[in-house]
Chain A
Amino acid sequence: MRTLGQTLSELLDLAAAKFEVPRAGLGGADDIFEKLGIDSLQALDLLTRLESHFRVELPDYELQGVSNFQALAERIHARL
Chain B
Amino acid sequence: MDLARHESLQSALAEAFETFAERVCLIEADRDRERARLTYAEVAEASAALAGWLAARGTRRAAILMTNQSKWHIAACALFRIGGQLVPLDPKLPAAEQAELLRHSEADTLFIEHHLWRALAFGGQAIVSEAPPSTDLRGAARYEECRAAAPPLVPRRRSDVACIVYSSGTGGRPKGCQLTHDNYLEQCAALLRLYRFDPGDRYLSILPTNHAIDFMVGFLGPYTCGATVIHLRTLRPEFVREAFTRYQIAYMALVPLVLTNLERGLRGRIAALPGWKRRLVALVGRLRSPRAARLLLREIQRGFGGRLKALFVGGAFSEPSSLRFFRDLGIEVANGYGLTEAGTVVTLNDGGHFREDSVGRPLAGTEVRIADPGPDGIGEVQVSGRTVMAGYLKDPDLTAETIVGGWLRTGDQGRLEASGHLRLFGRRKNMIVTAGGKNVYPEDIENAFDGMEVAEFCVFAAHRLWPGRDERLLLVVRPNRRVPFEEELWRRNRTLPDYKRVAGHVVWERDFPRTASMKIKRDELAAAVAAAGSDRVVTP
Interface residues of A (CB under 8 A from B): 19, 31, 33-34, 37-41, 44-45, 47-48, 59-62, 64-65
Q: A40-B511, A44-B235, A61-B115 are in contact. List 16 more A-B contacts (CB 8 A).
A: A31-B510, A34-B509, A37-B479, A37-B481, A38-B481, A39-B257, A39-B455, A41-B261, A47-B236, A59-B233, A60-B67, A60-B235, A60-B236, A61-B67, A61-B113, A64-B92
Q: Is the Cβ of B510 less than 8 Å from the Cβ of A34?
A: yes
Using CB atoms, name the residue of chain B closest to A60: B234
Closest 4 CB pairs of A and B: A37-B481, A44-B236, A33-B511, A60-B234
249-302 of chain B: CB within 8 A of chain A: 257-258, 261
B contacts with A: majority SS: loop
Nearest chain A residue, comparing its CB with the CB of B115: A61
User: What is the bound-complex CA distance between A27 and B92, given in angstroms?
Assistant: 26
Known: A33-B510, A33-B511, A34-B509. A41 touches B235 (CB 8 A): yes
Query: Which chain A positions have C-beta within 8 A of B481?
Result: 19, 37-38
**Beta-carbon contact of A41 and B237 below 8 Å:** yes
Interface residues on B, range: 20 to 34
B106 at the A interface (CB under 8 A):
no
Q: How far is the CA of A31 from the CA of B234 in the complex (A)?
A: 23
CA distance A64 to B480 in the complex (A): 23
Question: In the complex the two chains form, what is the Cα distance from A62 to B91 in whole Å?
Answer: 12
Docked Cα-Cα span, A19 to B481, in Å, equals 9
Q: Tell whether, in the assembled complex, residue B233 and residue A60 are in contact, meaning their CB atoms are under 8 Å apart.
A: yes
* Contact across chains for B257 and A48 when beta carbons are under 8 A apart: no
CB-nearest residue of chain A to B509? A34
Assess A44 versus B511: contact at CB under 8 Å? Given A37-B481, A39-B455, A61-B115. no
Docked-complex contact B233 and A45, CB < 8 angstroms: no
| Chain B residue, CB-CB nearest to A31 | B510
Quick check: B234 and A41 within 8 Å, CB to CB? Answer: no
Contacts of A34 in B (CB 8 A): 509-510
**Interface code B500-535, partner A: CB below 8 Å = 1, 0 otherwise?**
000000000111000000000000000000000000
Please measure, in the bound complex, the distance between the C-alpha atom of A33 and the C-alpha atom of B481, giving whole angstroms: 11
Let me know if B198 is at the binding interface, CB within 8 A.
Answer: no
Query: When chains A and B are docked, how far (Å) is the Cα of A59 from the Cα of B479?
Result: 28
Residues in B neighbouring A45, C-beta threshold 8 A: 236-238
Please report which residues of chain B, range 98-118, place their CB below 8 angstroms from some CB of chain A when the two chains form the complex: 113, 115-116
Which of B113, B236, B261 has most A Cβ within 10 Å?
B236
Name, among A34, A41, A44, the residue most crowded by chain B CB atoms within 10 Å (CB to CB): A41
Closest B residue to A35 by CB, please name it.
B509
Residues 422-481 (chain B) with a chain A CB within 8 angstroms: 455-456, 479-481
Report chain A residues within 8 Å CB of B510.
Answer: 31, 33-34
Q: Verify A48–B233 contact, CB threshold 8 A.
A: no
> Would you give the shortest CB distance from A65 to chain B, in whole angstroms?
8
Bound complex: CA of A37 vs CA of B456, how far in Å? 12
Q: Which residue of A lies closest to B119 (CB)?
A: A65
On chain B, the residues within 8 Å of A44 by CB distance are: 234-237
30 A-B pairs in the complex with CB atoms less than 8 angstroms apart: A33-B510, A33-B511, A34-B509, A34-B510, A37-B455, A37-B479, A37-B509, A39-B456, A40-B511, A41-B235, A41-B257, A44-B234, A44-B235, A44-B236, A45-B237, A47-B236, A48-B236, A48-B238, A59-B115, A59-B234, A60-B67, A60-B233, A60-B234, A60-B235, A60-B236, A61-B91, A61-B113, A61-B115, A62-B115, A65-B119
Give Cα A44–Cα B67 distance, bound, in whole angstroms. Answer: 16
**Smallest Cβ-Cβ distance to B67: which chain A residue:** A61
Closest A residue, CB atoms, query B481: A37
Name the B residues within 8 Å of A41 (CB-CB). Answer: 235-237, 257-258, 261
- Give the shortest distance, in Å, between B319 (CB) and chain A (any CB): 16
In the bound assembly, the distance between CA atoms of A19 and B91 in angstroms comes to 29
